[in-house]
Chains A and B, each alone.
Chain A
Amino acid sequence: EAEVAQSPRYKITEKSQAVAFWCDPISGHATLYWYRQILGQGPELLVQFQDESVVDDSQLPKDRFSAERLKGVDSTLKIQPAELGDSAMYLCASSAASGRTDTQYFGPGTRLTVL
């Protein structure tokens, strides 16, 4: 069964350093999502791509976060500089399209700890 791949699974960094997370969606999925899940809370959407275009990045802290999906396949989420409050699980999801009935499939996540 096809899965969403994410790496690394765990990342520990110091405040003010740069970090990057990678996501490879299920083959053929046009829509890709990055969510942030703070411990004890539900995931919150950071950015949504349709192919290589950003559909929604209204909750992305653009002064320090950036995301790209250059060829409309895999995606990278970057934080520079990292802050203590960025410690969270970063989840990637993909779906065949962005319609209301299209199921989102989630990867295992990257757990970020900022010291």
Chain B
Amino acid sequence: GDSVTQMEGPVTLSEEAFLTINCTYTATGYPSLFWYVQYPGEGLQLLLKATKADDKGSNKGFEATYRKETTSFHLEKGSVQVSDSAVYFCALDGSSNTGKLIFGQGTTLQVKP
């Protein structure tokens, strides 16, 4: 079945460091791919998405490119801030085509001043 695998956390970085969080997926067909972010005590917020191969999603300085050949959707940011500390979830909409999201296990990012 469809699945998402993220890199293990926690990831600890200093402010202004470069961020990469790896995400790979297994799916039949052509899923849409998403990154959600969960700040402490809050619900999930959509960070960015891509709906077809080679699309790049971007928001708030974060970027991710839909790579069909490597089945990946890695999240990157050039310079992280303390306020980026959160849990990041990679997700895809499953082959059922009903909008159902399948999430990875989440990666905790901690940014230190």
Contact = CB atoms under 8 A, between A and B. Distances in A.
- Chains A and B are bound partners: yes
B29 to A, nearest CB: 10
Interface residues of A, number: 29
Nearest to A104: B101
B98 interface: yes
Main secondary structure on B side of the interface with A? loop
Main secondary structure on A side of the interface with B? loop
A91 B32 contact: no
Contacts of B97: 100
A86 B42 CA distance: 20
Given A101-B32, A101-B51, A107 B43 contact: yes
B44 interface: yes
Contacts of B81: none
Given A48-B100, A100-B99, A4 B51 contact: no
B71 interface: no
Contact of B99 (A40, A43, A104, A109): A104
Nearest to B106: A42
B43 A108 contact: yes
A33 B43 CA distance: 14
Given A41-B106, A42-B91, A42-B104, A48 B43 contact: no
B43 A106 contact: yes
Interface residues of B, number: 25
B47 to A, nearest CB: 11
A62 B44 CA distance: 26
B99 A99 contact: yes
B12 interface: no
A48 B99 contact: yes
Interface in A70-115: 91, 93, 95, 97-109
Nearest to A50: B98
23 contacts: A4-B43, A31-B99, A33-B100, A33-B101, A40-B105, A41-B105, A42-B4, A42-B91, A43-B89, A48-B98, A55-B98, A93-B44, A98-B98, A99-B99, A100-B31, A100-B51, A100-B99, A101-B51, A104-B46, A104-B99, A104-B101, A105-B46, A106-B43
